[in-house]
Structures are given as C-alpha cells and as structure tokens.
Chain A
C-alpha cells in the first residue's frame, strides 16, 4: 500500500517524534510512505482564519504535487488532515468555490485525490488482525487514555472516519497492541489548541481538565494523534502542575510511538527522547522498555 505522505510543518519541527515513529511503524504494516516533494503549508491556522479560498488554494497546490506520487494522500497531523479534507469537501460540493480556488492557485483541481488520516488507514485498511500479527512486545499493564481532540472527526460530513463524538479507532488499535484502554469521557474535549499563544490561561485550564480526567480514570499515560494536543498536554504539563499545585506526571505519547513499542522498536527508533514528560519511568515500571535498550 503506497501513500503520498504529507507530514506538514509540525512533523518537521515540534512533532518530529510523530514523524519518526510514523516512518518506523508504517513499513512494518506494509505501508510505503513517499513524502510529497516540495509540499507547502496545508492552509491551517492563520490562513483559514483569514481567507478560506486561500486555504483551499494551498490544499490544491499540495494535491497537485501529491498526484505526481500517488492519488492517496496519508496525513498524520490532525490539523493538516482536517484542512485538506475540508478543502476536498468544499471543492467537491461547490463549483463556484472550485472555480475561485483554481483561479487563485493557478492550478487545476483533478478530482481524483483522496486524503486519509493514517489512524484510519491502520484501523480500517490494514485492520486489527494484521496489527496483531506484528505485536511482539504487548503493552501489558499499561493503562492508556486515547485522546482524539477536536479536529480528527469533526465536522463529520467532511472528515469523519469514526464516530464524531465517541471515536474508538485509536482505542481499538492500542488495545490490539496489548494496552488496557481507559474508559473516560474526555476523548474529544478541546485542549485549547492555538489559544496557547494568546490565552495561555485558557489552555492551561482546559488541558488541565483533560489530564486530570485521564488520571482520575486510572490512566498512566495519554495517546494522541495531533501535534497541537501533544504540545498542550506534554510541553505545558509542568506549568499546569505548578499552576494547579498538582502532581500529574502523565507521559503523552503519539499513538504510533506506542504501536512501535508493541512492535518491538526501540525508544530511539520512535523518538521517545523528544518527549518532555519523561516516559521511561513508567515504561520501565511496566516492563515495556528501558531507556538503555
């Protein structure tokens, strides 16, 4: 199975461990990821706030580049995924928008590209059976809260591959990898997203609530599929602990890192050293991996 891989800006910078672990895990499941040459911004945050047509035009630019590699595009960043899928949706549903966008981009929109989140690919195309076959080091005793955030499944008509309010695909995959999935209510709550820059206090409160909820439901760690969620929960965890005078100590993994551990990959191969909240104490305690190996 071959995908035109669209990493997006985060996976080349703040979320490089998401990129590393994705590239490590995908081939084991028979997925070939070919990075789209010279991809450009997906049209997220500043652009789509400002002008949706410009945002879709950037998407079309990416689609054109992708087509040179493959018509199926695989994405990991929830925000890129959301933007590219929304653009596709609008282009398919409105000729007027399509015309405008093609004019702005100076490019034609060929109707053939498809955009998939790799979580969808793993869950629904590769399937749990095939994932199970690859598990050599089950994540035994690890209590994981799967956190999907807001962008992965909503708005449902444009992006959903799972139940928009009660998604389960990440739970299914990690359970197959041997983890104990925590039944908790905040799977799709908002982490505060990019308010991190303008209203840090809001993000601290929202992210705190998520961390706290996971903890009180017995989670040892959280799995995510979005770089922004990750940075709010991981990078800001220390300041949140300080602000709320609480000890949370919840490692925040990309779901591909946990898959990789179950497939027997080393911490290095999965970029575990990039995480801010140190995961090793937990992993060693559960006998899942050690920093030295």
Chain B
C-alpha cells in the first residue's frame, strides 16, 4: 500500500506568487496513495527538510513527492533528507512547479491547476517506484589533461603535486600554448616567457607527469573513474631518445621558406625545426609537408649532419593506450579568421579590412610577436611590408566580437585590456608615435585592469575614438582607416602605417570532434559548456570530465590559471575516493523476452551493451541476449525506445511508470470534458 507524502514548497515568492501552494497541498492530500500533504515557505531549508523527515517517521511514509524547483537544483538535497529518515532515496521524487510552472505562467488559476497536475503525475510515478541501490565502481587514480597551454600546464602540475599521475597530451611539438607567444602580460607587464617557461620545465621534469607532445587524443571510452584513452603520437621523424637538441639540423636544412606558425607568418622557419627557443621538449620535428626528403626522396641533409643519428625518416605514428579516472580539457582558443573564407557558414569575414591583402594589417598575436624580444624583429616595432618603424598605429577592437552581422554576438573579453597593453608598449618603444584605438566600449574588468587602461590614456597618451571602422584601404603608401567617432558625431579618417585588429577569440578549429568523442556538451560557437553556469563552472556535462582555460570562453591568464587549479582540485577530489557511487537509473534487460536482435547494442551511445550467451547445463549456447553494464550505462533510454520486443526498461523510468504518469492527466482531462 502506498503511503506517500506530498511537500509543496513556496520557494519564497518564486512559486507562491503565482501558484496557490496551500490549495495544491490540500488537493494533493486527497489523491490516491497520498497519506499526508503540506506546504512550507522554503522546503530546502533546514526546518523544511526536518518537516519531511518527521513526516516520514510520523506517518510511516513509503514515498515522497516534493513539489518545488527543478530536480537539477535540489533532487540530491531531498533524497538525502529522505535517506536520513530511513527511506530509500529513490523513493523520493520532485515535481517541478517552479521552472515548469510558476516562472513561465502568470494566470494564477491555471498555474495552480497545472501544479496540481504535476503533483498528480509524480504521485503516480512514486506509487510505482521501488528501492534502488547505487552502482559502485572502482577508480583509476590517474588523470589526463588535453592541451598544454597555461591552463593545461597548471592543471597538470597541481594534480601531479597532489600525488596523482598525469598524462598531458599536446597536439603541437611543444607545450606552452598562446602564452608562449605573448610579449609582456597585463596588468603588470611582466614578461610572458619569464613566468611561463619555469612551469614548462617543471612539467617536463615532474616525476608524476607523462608528456605526449605532437600527439592527439584519438578515442575515449569508459566513464567517470574509468576512462580508456587512445593517444596518437604523430611521427616526429626524430628519435627523441637519441636527439640531444643541438639544433644543427635546423641550421643546415635547405628548405627555409616556410611561414613560421609561432611568429604567425611574420618570419620563416626550416622544414626541420624547433618551434621556439624555449620549447619543451627542446627537440626538433620534421614538417613532412615541406621537407624536401619527404617530397622528392632526395636531400637528407639533416640525417647527414646529425651526430647522434637521431633522424628517423621511417618513423610511424604510434597509438598508445592510457587508463585514467578523470580528464581535464584545456584546448584553449584560436583567433577569428578575418579573411572572407570562414570555417563555418555562420561566420562572415571582413573583406573590407583587407587582412591578407595589406601586409601591414595584422592581428593581435602578430603584434605580440613584433613586441617580443624573441620575435622576428627582436622586439623592435617594424612593420611587415617594408621594415620601417610605424609612426601612426591604429588598434581596432571588436573585430568579429559583438557583431551580429558577422556571426559572433559574444564579447571576447580580453581584447580591451590587451589593446591598452599594445598601445602602451608601442608608445614605450616609439615615444614619438601615435596610437589610436577604435572601440565600442572599454571593458577592462579584472583586478587593477581599469587602472591599467586609464594609465594607457593618461600617461601614455593613447587616443581612444568610440566607433567602428567601416573600411581600410591603401593610398599613397598609407593605410586609410575610415571610421566613425560617435562621441563627436563625425566621420574620421586616420592615415595609418600599421593597423592591429583585435580579432574575436574563438575555439580551436574542428575542436567539436574531440568534444563529441569525449561526450561533453558545447555551445553554438563550440566553446565547452559548464555543468552549471554559477555553481559548477569547471565541470563539463559529463561526470569526471573537467574544463579549464579558454576552451570554455575567452579568458585571460589569471582566470585560466584559477580555473585550471579549480579543475585540478575537482579531479583530485574525485580521485581521492576509494570507489565511486553512480546513479542506479540504468537500463535493465529482460532476458526472458529479449530476442537478441542487438539493435540496442548499435544504438547505445555509451557502448554499455554487450552480447551475453545463455547456456544450458551442458554449457551449450542456447541463444544470445543483450546485457547492460550498469557502470557504463548513462541511463539515456535510447535502447528502450529502439527495443522491438519491449524487453528493456530504465530503472526509475519504467514504461509502467511513464504510462501511469500520462494516464493520470488524461483521466483528469476526460473528467473535465464530461
């Protein structure tokens, strides 16, 4: 016999201002199976929870329905309370009368009716609930970090220092990410390399870190605590054991006209190269697309000059398997492509700015390279076209960002501060030069960031013009920047020698493939989505996978590092447990009726279903049926919907329960119609 208690929450004003909670409780009390019903201002508060606990004891309840907010918010809270009162937690359910009712309706009468219906539905469900026990799984005490930018480096170091073995996978030949390309960093203007390289070295030397550079994650399977990862180590064509990093090969390589990615095309590199002087590992890699040996079979100069016989033209990609319990995604960002050719058709380029056509129209990272002591100009500000020192430099903010017509609505957040930095550093190097900034709003939020940009204006004399730039073109050896100064209401034209575009921060190209492989959600721009925007900012939508840095949204270094440490500690918490408990809301096969078509096996996105042989006593296989591994099953229910013989049910969401839920409202409606 069902003895269900219904607890209706006012959520302060949130529910009670629209729904008549007292009436909902009163009517609920008369529903079949309900023994007790009441309402209260804040059911999630301590006294609210006590109310539930004492009602369970007093009325000997064997089921609980809490009519309140979304189960995402408080299901765990109320199930815990039920458990403390001695009830199996899976006999407690929530009816969402806030997000699904009071927040979206304003007709009080109808909303109250709907709230009663929502309770009615849940009561029917709870009548058919039965006690469930959590699934227990073991934990592999190792972690994987994907991406070796500052975020990945920080997360790897924190976890390694916490005593966990860490596998760090970086797709480029060196770790460091974009921070390695920066000159000096706001707001303190300390040299980026000086604060980054010690951390890179620490990664390389840490006994708990296994570093795979020039490698990518090829496949991920498993689940929280027990992920199986396949890493592709791309052929470097250099034997890392033998190579001593002397660099002679890179000096002698005859193929030298390849645009240097690290300098963003502002200099050239050889086909066998070390990406930058402080690279980790500091050993070269052969770029096979440009290597004469790989293109024609001739050359082989590097092989000849190498004293340690480290060049290995026959090296193949290698696949290695790793088992880890937690994953931190730190794949960082890329810059919006300004040209007309866009990676996806939601984005429009800026043909009117002539990027790629005029060599002196460059992006922010290219300017970082011009500022950098290790850059192509040795830190002198010399423009790409003719190597002259530019006397008038225009910086343009929001190129791509906050521009609906170009397809990106969000703010890239870090540009306003780095533009101020760029202008400032430029003025320090070219004191008689002029720096103009076209901006929409100056958004330098961050500790001491506002003071920083004020300093750029007040002490270094940057000229800020509020307006967009409509076009850039070349005339008589100058770049004409046509824009608007909306504060004085005039059209302005600046004759510039160099234009720096603060292009939008976007995720890495094609990164969604990795995210799909990991099974984590991402937004329409391909930034990873966090589990909760306020309360779970470093967790992905999938248990055991955490996120850090600019792969989540545009971020500066302090934020990336903070998030990385947070992700690392979340992972450490997870890995500190001897075993994990998982929700038992998983699929269950009725072996008696399963016809062994294995349609479910093919449909299962979590790869949780396997074939099971049913044998007779003599050990002969009679037939095969599906079997669900409860520690892998995510409870999505796909198998249930594709099962022809109706042999799979989802615990906690059985067909019987769902039909009973639906029938309860249909019955009421037919009553109304009569």
Contacts and interface: CB of A to CB of B under 8 A. Distances in A.
Interface of A: 156-157, 163-166, 168, 183-185, 188, 216
A63 to B, nearest CB: 27
B350 A166 contact: yes
A78 B472 CA distance: 25
A163 B473 contact: no
Given A163-B340, A165-B470, A185-B473, A156 B351 contact: no
Given A166-B351, A188-B352, 5 more contacts: A165-B351, A166-B349, A166-B352, A185-B472, A185-B473
A186 B605 CA distance: 53
B74 interface: no
Counting from the closest, the 7 A-B pairs by CB-CB distance are A166-B351, A185-B473, A165-B352, A166-B352, A156-B405, A185-B471, A163-B348
7 contacts: A156-B405, A157-B405, A163-B349, A165-B352, A166-B350, A166-B351, A184-B473
Interface residues on B, range: 10 to 19
A216 B480 CA distance: 14
Contacts of B352: 165-166, 185, 188
B538 to A, nearest CB: 37
A165 B350 contact: yes
A120 to B, nearest CB: 17
Contacts of B351: 163, 165-166, 168
B569 to A, nearest CB: 45
Contacts of B473: 184-185
A156 B405 CA distance: 7
A166 B405 contact: no
Interface in B292-312: none
A183 B351 CA distance: 11
Contacts, number: 29
Interface in B306-341: 340
B405 A164 contact: yes
A183 B470 CA distance: 16
Contacts of A216: 475
A76 to B, nearest CB: 25
Contacts of A166: 340, 349-352
A30 to B, nearest CB: 28
Nearest to A187: B352
B340 A165 contact: no
B250 to A, nearest CB: 38
Contacts of B340: 163, 166
Nearest to B475: A216
Nearest to B471: A185
A216 B473 CA distance: 12
Interface string B472-490: 1101000010000000000
A188 B482 CA distance: 13
B83 to A, nearest CB: 52
Interface of B: 340, 348-352, 354, 357, 405, 470-473, 475, 480
A188 B350 CA distance: 13
Please indicate which of the listed interface residues A168, A183, A184, A185 has the most CB atoms of chain B within 10 Å of its own CB. Answer: A185
A285 to B, nearest CB: 27
A216 B474 CA distance: 11
Contacts of A168: 351
A289 B5 CA distance: 93
Please indicate which of the listed interface residues B340, B351, B357, B480 has the most CB atoms of chain A within 10 Å of its own CB. Answer: B351
Contacts of B349: 163, 166
Contacts of B471: 165, 185
A164 B340 CA distance: 12
Contacts of A184: 473
A184 B474 CA distance: 9
Contacts of A165: 350-352, 470-471
Nearest to A165: B352
A166 B473 CA distance: 13
A156 B352 CA distance: 15
A168 B341 CA distance: 13
A156 B351 CA distance: 16
A188 B473 CA distance: 13
B360 to A, nearest CB: 15
Contacts of B405: 156-157, 164
Nearest to A154: B405
B200 to A, nearest CB: 41
A210 to B, nearest CB: 13
Nearest to B474: A185
Contacts of B470: 165
Contacts of A164: 348, 405
Nearest to B472: A185
Nearest to B404: A157
Contacts of A156: 405
Contacts of A188: 352
A188 B352 CA distance: 10
A79 B472 CA distance: 26
A168 B339 CA distance: 14
B491 to A, nearest CB: 10
A156 B480 CA distance: 25
A246 B304 CA distance: 67
Nearest to B351: A166
A168 to B, nearest CB: 8
Contacts of B350: 165-166
A166 to B, nearest CB: 3
A154 B472 CA distance: 19
Contacts of B354: 185
B376 to A, nearest CB: 27
Contacts of A185: 352, 354, 471-473, 480
A85 to B, nearest CB: 16
Contacts of B357: 183
Contacts of A157: 405
Contacts of A183: 357
A157 B403 CA distance: 13
Contacts of A163: 340, 348-349, 351
A198 to B, nearest CB: 19
A76 B477 CA distance: 38
A81 to B, nearest CB: 19
Contacts of B475: 216
A183 B473 CA distance: 10
B490 to A, nearest CB: 14
Nearest to B405: A156
Contacts of B480: 185
A236 to B, nearest CB: 21
A285 B388 CA distance: 42
A11 to B, nearest CB: 29
B35 to A, nearest CB: 50
A185 to B, nearest CB: 3
Nearest to A185: B473
Please indicate which of the listed interface residues A165, A183, A184, A188 has the most CB atoms of chain B within 10 Å of its own CB. Answer: A165
B405 to A, nearest CB: 5
B489 to A, nearest CB: 16
A184 B473 CA distance: 8
A216 B476 CA distance: 10
Nearest to B357: A183
A228 to B, nearest CB: 20
Please indicate which of the listed interface residues B349, B352, B357, B472 has the most CB atoms of chain A within 10 Å of its own CB. Answer: B352
Contacts of B472: 185
A156 B470 CA distance: 15
A183 B475 CA distance: 13
Nearest to A184: B473
A164 B470 CA distance: 11
A150 to B, nearest CB: 11
A185 B405 CA distance: 20
A185 B352 CA distance: 7
A163 B340 CA distance: 9
A98 to B, nearest CB: 24
A184 B349 CA distance: 17
A168 B348 CA distance: 13
A65 B625 CA distance: 67
B340 to A, nearest CB: 7
Please indicate which of the listed interface residues A157, A163, A164 has the most CB atoms of chain B within 10 Å of its own CB. Answer: A163
